[in-house]
Structure 1
């Protein structure tokens, strides 16, 4: 290829990695990237947002749904700093996002050009690589390195910015390479697998936890085959949700407290041993024990990760393996068969957890159909379950209200759930929704927003309207920062900085931006409103006034 300018050289490489959409907010520093996107063959779709964080969240959502590197383009200075929360979320989620940034001209560097800022040091702590292309001759090679680095396990965001004069100036010819090499699959250590199988052979109450990296590593089928062969009870975490569908006899997520409390072996795959998993302490009332200190009744813990850098170092583990997660699961299944591991030794345990999970689901029925007025948040999830299709993508962006979704919305297929992940950054929702609508054009896309979270990104309903991206948005509107209000009242007997406007008309905001919306104040209105939203074929917000006195029941603060 003979590029006309640096933007052509960059976008010719981007296209080789299968990127179909550039998420961005317009800025003069990156105009050549837009021109290159329009004129490459085939063109790269340009989807512009109303805030840079939404552009990065949209790229991150795309990466998580497609399991391929995705692209955000940000202009210099505040364009980059506005995107840092999105970059950090991608870092914590292990999402292969490439963020390309503009940069003041090299010829004027140090003289106070508009938005002159050295970006890489700001994002280096939350990226796999953060650097500046040094000249026109390096543009193609630097972009290639960025994509390869983002896609290599453990995946994560990469930042690369370009001097403005290098993008606008002529670029050398780019070699015509139609394919890119896939990252090499890392083989796990056979001795590590043998040690884990020995623990399985001794166990009587094992539990398998499947996290987001199982999905991102393309290991969902291998994980399911491994669990089904050994009849292991499974708890799903993050994007591990949906690998086992609701009602599967091995899926015991609804009995996770019992499972973690009574297990003698917990195998955690594809997720950190962080606050969501008690920092890796399971069994024998082990919660709250100092890291690394085992009590007599504590469960043995095995950690499986896609790369050595992700294995836990803050607590003792009885076994660990790093590498391609599909190879780990198939290797464990093969080794377990040769070692004579039999599910019969823990069949009673698996049945006990299955019964506990089913009892929990049955116990939900009353609240999921609650006639309470004001509306109980669980009634909304009961009505939503009636209209969700098997391939729906459900997105959670919020605190108290969305906590119910994490418990009561069970994806029927893998890749059907998105939430902010362990960084807990609000404002991901509209970007994730745009990503889901593009990545899954024939599926329902549902965005669940707390009213607090809505304040971070609802202006990007304009993005959905302008780009014709129909999404059903549901706001759980209790007029408060519920995740803070109730704990503060418990601690101090009062709360401050926790109130929002009761029954704020978020639906009218979306209507003003060209979408559709309505306010729901009574429980019997919920079902019809949801059906109208799904039938509309438009960005549609259902604003549900929920009971402000009801707090999601929490048993831990994660500290």
Structure 2
């Protein structure tokens, strides 16, 4: 079998199957046509979802990855097909979403001639992905694919781009299956310094007013149970970032709401009063911190993260606990003393009561006036028994959904956090229905973002994708208008 010669396009199909790929999203074109010809022969094992725009292919792959925990895959052609994926690649990079993008490319002999739909994909993509590589020979296909999946899904996840030259698609080589679990100079999970575990535990054990900031890293690291054990043992109140909202059930007694500029009053106020701030799998984004010069200056700060580049990037920390948070949280938990911090937790409830009366209750149970966005979001959440996947677009719809949707299940938030990509919602929801076919997918979007990828209604109809679409139509760009009126 090792000596049997097959085309590079067929090698790609076999490598994808060996990586466990079942669904991919794409749009064909001339420079990727041999791959699509090969895909037809593997249609019983690889489900191809034809989108209406290449940007939608990337967002659908993101939605698939977010809910499934697997690497999303999309395939597009060269030139404008490849450049149309740039926004999605950047979005996946900022939000740490594992994705492999395969772009077509002109044959090697045509490179540098300004051939039809030739573009330097690798140089365009390198600044916004974990790895970009041009496949120039059929014998390199399997190696490149396995390496791509390893890089995309390991450590801090992110997108990888493979630029597939057309001559490599049609020339032949033997397929040599294999896996890659080591790359020299690439350290996906840094070693944990034992002393940092001890120091973190000591700070938490002596804290009077501790506060945990929960980020998406908990979801990416499959550390939801470790997080609960950690906060429950020491009685640690925990607030969640936008992308970390479903890492901890909304109704958990230690959950103190959403963090940041659109977040809960209590968690934001108490960030400035806590004596130990414990960040888990989050990056101190400006939407969380506000003015860095005044952010939590009174607190000792502990930062759990898998990415060393995030340590001290925005906020100086006292203890950095590097490594996979599933492992590091468990290690610190073993050293914690049981505590309740009842008086400290009660101070959150006082702010919660004030916010409930002044802000939340009028939004979800209005007694007069038009229908409120918060009212719609909370009712949808209740009808789904708080078990649905919440997908949003970007704008007021996103923040209202984040504030008023409730979560009981992990991996339930699909939204564009760092890039804030309008048009993300519709294709991401399509991807989510394929990534979690047994779950209800509810999409909240505004009339602005809808029109940016509205063509994907065609994909929904063709695929019969069971997306529950809630259009919050206020006839303007709500966030923009809100900022202009402030």
Give the TM-score normalised by structure 1.
0.80
Is 1:216 the counterpart of 2:231? The answer is no
Which residue number corresponds to residue 174 of structure 1?
Answer: 175
- Number of residue pairs the alignment of both structures matches: 472
**Residue 38 of structure 2: which of 36, 39, 49 is its match?**
36
**Residue 404 of structure 1: which of 395, 400, 406 is its match?**
400
Residue 461 (structure 1) shift: 1.0
Q: What RMSD, in angstroms, separates the aligned Cα atoms of the two structures?
A: 2.2
Residue 63 (structure 1) shift: 1.5
CA distance in 1, matches of 2:40, 2:385: 35
CA distance in 1, matches of 2:249, 2:143: 43
CA distance in 2, matches of 1:288, 1:70: 35
SS at match of 1:262: coil
Alignment of 1:107-126 (within 5 A): 107-126=109-128
CA contact 2:281–2:306 (8 Å) conserved in 1? yes
Distance 1:360 1:246, change over 3 A: farther
Which residue number corresponds to residue 245 of structure 2?
Answer: 241
Which residue number corresponds to residue 271 of structure 1?
Answer: 282
SS at match of 1:252: strand
CA distance in 1, matches of 2:365, 2:444: 19
CA distance in 2, matches of 1:360, 1:180: 51
CA distance in 2, matches of 1:180, 1:125: 23
SS at match of 1:241: helix
Which residue number corresponds to residue 325 of structure 1?
Answer: 325
CA distance in 2, matches of 1:219, 1:13: 29
CA contact 1:273–1:312 (8 Å) conserved in 2? no
CA contact 1:73–1:101 (8 Å) conserved in 2? yes
CA distance in 2, matches of 1:368, 1:111: 60
Residue 100 (structure 1) shift: 0.8
Distance 1:112 1:243, change over 3 A: closer
Which residue number corresponds to residue 463 of structure 1?
Answer: 459
Which residue number corresponds to residue 260 of structure 2?
Answer: none
Residue 436 (structure 1) shift: 1.2
Which residue number corresponds to residue 485 of structure 1?
Answer: 481
CA contact 2:243–2:417 (8 Å) conserved in 1? no
CA distance in 1, matches of 2:367, 2:353: 23
Residue 371 (structure 1) shift: 4.6
SS at match of 1:141: helix
**Residue 450 of structure 1: which of 438, 446, 449 is its match?**
446
Residue 77 (structure 1) shift: 0.6
Which residue number corresponds to residue 128 of structure 1?
Answer: 130
Residue 224 (structure 1) shift: 1.3
Residue 13 (structure 1) shift: 1.1
Residue 388 (structure 1) shift: 1.9
**Residue 472 of structure 2: which of 473, 476, 482 is its match?**
476
CA contact 1:34–1:46 (8 Å) conserved in 2? no
SS at match of 2:272: helix
Alignment of 1:89-108 (within 5 A): 89-108=91-110
Alignment of 1:498-509 (within 5 A): none
CA contact 2:241–2:288 (8 Å) conserved in 1? no
Distance 1:110 1:316, change over 3 A: closer
CA distance in 2, matches of 1:386, 1:194: 42
Distance 1:411 1:82, change over 3 A: same
Distance 1:323 1:475, change over 3 A: same
Residue 482 (structure 1) shift: 1.7
Residue 9 (structure 1) shift: 0.7
SS at match of 1:88: helix
**Residue 434 of structure 1: which of 430, 437, 454 is its match?**
430
Residue 148 (structure 1) shift: 0.8
CA contact 2:8–2:168 (8 Å) conserved in 1? yes
CA contact 2:279–2:301 (8 Å) conserved in 1? yes
Structure 2, gaps ≥5 residues long:
258-263
Is 1:381 the counterpart of 2:377? The answer is yes
CA distance in 2, matches of 1:290, 1:228: 29
**Residue 346 of structure 2: which of 345, 351, 356 is its match?**
351
CA distance in 2, matches of 1:31, 1:106: 16
CA contact 2:91–2:416 (8 Å) conserved in 1? yes
CA contact 2:386–2:406 (8 Å) conserved in 1? no
CA deviation string 1:193-231 (max 9, x = no partner): 111112112211111111111101111111111111111
SS at match of 2:279: strand
Distance 1:180 1:288, change over 3 A: closer
| Larger displacement relative to structure 2 (212-221 or 369-378) | 369-378
- The higher relative CO (CA closer than 8 Å, separation ≥ 6) is in 2
Which residue number corresponds to residue 425 of structure 1?
Answer: 421
CA distance in 1, matches of 2:315, 2:205: 23
CA contact 1:217–1:306 (8 Å) conserved in 2? no
CA distance in 1, matches of 2:32, 2:482: 45
Which residue number corresponds to residue 206 of structure 1?
Answer: 210
Which residue number corresponds to residue 510 of structure 1?
Answer: none
Alignment of 1:68-107 (within 5 A): 68-107=70-109
Residue 238 (structure 1) shift: 3.0
CA contact 2:279–2:302 (8 Å) conserved in 1? yes
CA contact 1:154–1:309 (8 Å) conserved in 2? no
CA contact 2:302–2:320 (8 Å) conserved in 1? yes
Which residue number corresponds to residue 225 of structure 1?
Answer: 229
SS at match of 1:448: strand
Residue 309 (structure 1) shift: 2.6
CA distance in 2, matches of 1:3, 1:34: 19
